[in-house]
Every structure is written in structure tokens, then in C-alpha cells.
Amino acid sequence: MEIAVVRDLLDKQLIDRDGEALGRADGVVMAYSADAPPRIMYFELGAQTLARRLPRPFQGVLAWLGHRLSPRGSSPYRLEVSRIIQLGRTIKIDIDGTRSAARETERWVRDHIIGRIPGS
Amino acid sequence: MKKLLEITLGIVTSIGGFLEVGSLATSAQAGAAFGYQLIWAIVLGTICLIFLVEMSGRLAAVSKQPLAGAMRDRFGYPFFLIPLVAMSLLGVLVLASELGGLSLALQLVTGASFPWWAPLGAFAAWLLLWKGTFSIIEKGASLFGLITLVFVVAAFRLHPDWTRAAAGALPSMPRHEPMRYWFIAVSIMGASIAPYLLYFYSAGAVEDKWNETDVPVNRITATFGMSFGGALSVAVLVVAALVLVPRGIRIERFDQIALILTPIMGRSGFFLFAAALGIACFGAMLEIALSVAYLVSQGFGWKWTEDARPRDVARFSLVYTATLIGGAIIVIVGVDPLAITLMSMALTSALLPIAIVPFLILMNDPHFVGQHRNGWISNTVVCAIVGLAFVLAVVSIPLELMGS
């Protein structure tokens, strides 16, 4: 099967092995060294990755916002492409999302904002 | 039999959910200022909406993807950011006008002053989203929304001249006040072709787990539901034309619209109007707040559903909460509710291409909809009407702003 990086990988919805949302493939990382053929290694998720994809004037603002807003700074989170177990409209990755760093912001919002409102 | 029930329910849902403060205010203004002459704007807007709603249901049924998710998927993140930002801000603005309408309805019934109702109304909507499920919100809002049929009853009681009304369904040049005429036409089209409805509808289709067998049912419910819904807007226009024009009333404040049923139905007409306005606005608020949450969550790949506890979809819940707060702030600050309604509807027309052009490209991409691609008729109709609304908006909004 032939995979087109932008059409089939970039920006696709990523889900964990239970089918729960992890986020979208904000970036795709390829490794290259002199002695091995280039290989697609990771999906990258996070505000910094998203900021880098915008025209320059917006990059600074977004990186700053991401840095201020995201609980773990703005360092991107990586998911190994080798753990893909299903590739289609959504991409299923063989990890347990409940403890994954991909959901850190979701957990932070739950614990610090939504979870504190009665009836949540 | 089950299919028939499903279709009926779908149509009833669309009728009850159709009218909101935008269509109500713009249709009433059109009737008061130009008689039947602007019915064509409602007709064009409704035809366009039929096609768009059918498309968003078809996209969700075939690709199992809601509209917002499919947009990021197809066009990539940098481009997706444009409709995301534009439609979210527009959503807050439109929500503010719905909240303004709800506050007015509460004020009419109780006689108590205006600004107090806004935070209370926003809180009630939030509570329902916090505790309710998708089907309670969708079915509840639209069943109660059937009270808006009171405008159809009122229109028939006035025995309008149907041939003249039918003539109004054909576009014609204004006989007086051309600037105002085109601005109201643009606002009417913006009120009918509400983009938030498309995000809501397609997300709902995914929540209800539609598949390809739902495509024909979707076509029927979209066509009839939206047509009857459009008829409600026409009824408001007809009532406004027959009640306000002979009395020489020009609508300059929101509460002037409140009296359009009183000459026909007396005191109960006054309360029916307040109830119809309040319920329609409240239902629209729920839909808009959810639409913005769907748009943002699907775009960023967060977990989204209205059927989980808020803590299990924390960011999704945060977005609808923030949207409601944003809308409430605009109303509390005290912007004139009628002005914000007309302006946000006109602005919708101006921003339509941002939401609709990528949508059309999606609907012609076999990668997403396979053999269920758009035909040339739907492509042409949507392009023509959206193009017209956009051109009229770009010309008439600056003129209106300079004039006022």
C-alpha cells in the first residue's frame, strides 16, 4: 500500500487502542542519517508543532500562547509510527491513552477547571 | 413504518429548530419596511440551506466524519484555522443576539429590566448542556420550538393576498431606500444560511451513528424540514407586513417586534410571541454553543460528545462554557440587541464563502464521499446563492455602517 504523507498521515485523527481520541497528527517526523535510508518515525502533537506550521508573524504569538497555556510547557509529544495498528480515516495507535502525555492538557483542564464545577 | 416515523420526526425537528432571533428579526424588519417585496431573500436562503444541510448529513453518513474534522483532514491545519477562527467568533456574536432575544422575551413576560436576564439565560443554557444529552437537547429544543407555528396561524388569520406574496418570491429592484433594502436582504440570507447549523447537524449525524443507508432519509428530511422552516420565516414577514405597514411602524427597537401578534390574538398574542421568541432563542443558543465546541474539538482531535459527563470531555465542555460566557458578556456590556442581530446576520453572509467553499470541495472529493459526490445542480445552486449573498454583503455592510 502506498502512503502519501500529507494526504494519509498529516492532520489525521489519532485514536488509542480503545478507540479514544489522542489528538491529531500535528506533525510527521522523518529520520535521516548517512548510513540508513530515510524513515518516517513519529507523529508529533502539540502547540509548538502547530505554531511552526503557520506563517512567520503568527508563529511567535502562538508559540508564546502555547507555552503559557499548556501545562507541560510547549514541548511536543511524539507517538511512534511503528505502533500504528489501523490506518484509514482515523489512525489507531497501539498505546493506552489514559496515561499518555498526549492527553495531558485534557487531564489538566479536567482536574483544574471542569472537575471543580459541581455536577461534572 | 419505522422509516416513516423517522422521517416525520426529522421533519418536525427541523421545523421546530428553524426559527431563531435572526430569521425572526430580519423577516419582521423586511415586512415592516418593504411589505412582501423581500420574500425572495427568504426563498433563496432556504433553498441554499436545504442543499447545505443535506450535504452535511451526507458527508457524515458516508465518511463517518463530521464537517469540522473533515475540513482539517482535507485542507490541513494552517488553512483550517481560517474558518475555525471566523466561525467561532461569529458563533459568539450570533449567540449574543440569541441571548438578547431570550432576555427580551423574559422581560416581556415579567416586566423586569433587561440586563439581568442575560447571565441567567446563559446559565440556564449552560446547565442544560452540562446535564443533558444530545437527544434531549435536539428533540427538546425542536418540540418546544413548534410554538413558532403560531406565526403561520397568525398569517392565515390575516387573509393575506397570496398572489402579491407569491410575486414577492421573485427578486425585484427596490422602489425606495435601496441601501436599507439590500442590507436587509443580506441579513435575511445570513440568517437562513446559518453555518453553525451545518456543524451541529453533521456532528449530530455522527453522534447518532448514521451510515450510507441514511442518505435517502436525510435528503427527504432536509428538503421538507427546511422548506417548512422557511415558510415560518415567510409567515413572520407576512404578519409584519400586514400589521406594521398600515400602522406606519418602522422597527427601530427590538421590542417593537413584540407587538406584531397582539392585533391578531390580543393579550394571548403578546404572550405567545414572548414564548415563541424565548424558546426559539434558547434552542438556538444551545445549538450554537455546541456547534462551536464541535468545531474546535473536532478540529484539534479532542474527544467530543454531548453524551458523556463533562469531566470526561473536559476541553469540549470548556469550549461551550466559554462560548456562552463570551455571548453573555456582549449582552451585559449593553450592545443594542437589534443592531447586533442584524449586523451578525449580515456578517454571516460576508463570511459564508470561508465556510462553504471548502465544504463544496469536500463534497466533490471521492476520497471523502465516494460515489455520493455532489451533482452539478447542488454545486451550481450553492455557489450561485452563496456568491450572491457574499457580493451583496460586501457592498451593503460598509454602506449600512456609514449610514448609521
- The Cα B368–Cα B63 span in angstroms is 6
Distance of CA B16 to the CA centre of its chain: 12
Question: What is the pTM (predicted TM-score) of this model?
Answer: 0.94
Nearest CA in chain B to A47: B300
List b or e across A77-107, with b for residues whose CB sees 16 or more CB atoms inside 10 angstroms: bbbebeebeeeebbbbbebebeebbbbebbb
What class does CATH assign to B2-165+176-403? mainly alpha
Residue of A50, A92, A106, A116 to mutate, testing the B interface (most B Cβ within 10 Å of its Cβ): A106
- Residues belonging to chain B with any Cβ–Cβ distance to chain A shorter than 8 Å: 63-65, 69, 72-73, 76-78, 80-81, 130-131, 299-304, 309-312, 314-315, 317-318, 367
Sign of the torsion formed by the C-alpha atoms of B183, B186, B190 and B192: positive
pLDDT at B272: 94
Residues of chain B with pLDDT under 50: none
Check pLDDT > 70 for residue A74. no
List of chain A residues whose C-beta atoms are within 8 Å of the C-beta of residue B78: 53-55
Would you call B77 and A50 a contact, using CB atoms and an 8 Å cutoff?
Answer: yes
C-alpha cell at B69: 474534522
Domains and CATH numbers, chain A: 5-116 (2.30.30.240)
Residue of A110, A111, A112, A116 to mutate, testing the B interface (most B Cβ within 10 Å of its Cβ): A110
- The Cα B361–Cα B364 span in angstroms is 5
Residues paired with residue A43 on neighbouring β-strands, in sequence order: A28, A79
pLDDT band at A100 (very low <50, low <70, confident <90, very high): confident
CA atoms within 13 A on the CB side of A49: 20
- The Cα B139–Cα B149 span in angstroms is 16
pLDDT at A59: 83
CA atoms within 13 A on the CB side of A116: 7
Residues paired with residue A23 on neighbouring β-strands, in sequence order: A14
pLDDT band at A56 (very low <50, low <70, confident <90, very high): confident
pLDDT band at A73 (very low <50, low <70, confident <90, very high): low
Q: What's the per-residue H, E or C state across chain A?
A: CCCCHHHHHCCCEEECCCCCEEEECCEEEEEEECCEEEEEEEEEECHHHHHHCCCHHHHHHHHHHHHHHCEEEECCEEEEHHHEEEECCEEEECCCHHHCHHHHHHHHHHHHCHHHCCCC
Nearest CA in chain B to A25: B301
Sheet with A13-15: strands ordered across: A21-24, A13-15, A90-93, A84-87
pLDDT band at A72 (very low <50, low <70, confident <90, very high): low
Would you call A117 and B310 a contact, using CB atoms and an 8 Å cutoff?
Answer: yes
If we measure between CA atoms, which residue out of B41, B1, B73 comes closest to residue B299? B73
A11 interfaces chain B, CB cutoff of 8 Å: yes
A23 interfaces chain B, CB cutoff of 8 Å: yes
pLDDT more than 90, % of chain B? 79
B209: DSSP letter:
T
Alpha carbon of B382 to those of B22, B53, B65, B80: distances in Å? 21, 11, 21, 21
Check pLDDT > 90 for residue A104. no
pLDDT at A71: 61
pLDDT (mean) for A83-93: 93
For strand A71-74 and strand A36-45, is the pairing parallel, antiparallel, or unpaired?
unpaired
List of chain B residues whose C-beta atoms are within 8 Å of the C-beta of residue A106: 302-303, 314-315
pLDDT at B59: 96
pLDDT at B5: 83
A47 interfaces chain B, CB cutoff of 8 Å: no
Structural domain spans, chain B: 2-165+176-403
User: Pick from B301, B315, B367: which is nearest to A13 by CB?
Assistant: B301
pLDDT band at A57 (very low <50, low <70, confident <90, very high): confident
- The Cα A116–Cα A40 span in angstroms is 41
The end-to-end CA distance of chain A, in Å, is: 45
List of chain A residues whose C-beta atoms are within 8 Å of the C-beta of residue B130: 117, 119-120
List of chain B residues whose C-beta atoms are within 8 Å of the C-beta of residue A53: 76-78
- What are φ and ψ of residue A91, in 5° steps? -115, 120
**Could you report the predicted ipTM of this complex, rounded to two decimals?**
0.92
User: Pick from A22, A106, A119: which is nearest to B315 by CB?
Assistant: A106
Query: Could you report the per-residue pLDDT of B292-322, keeping only the tens digit for each?
Result: 999 999 999 999 999 999 999 999 999 999 9
pLDDT at B114: 64
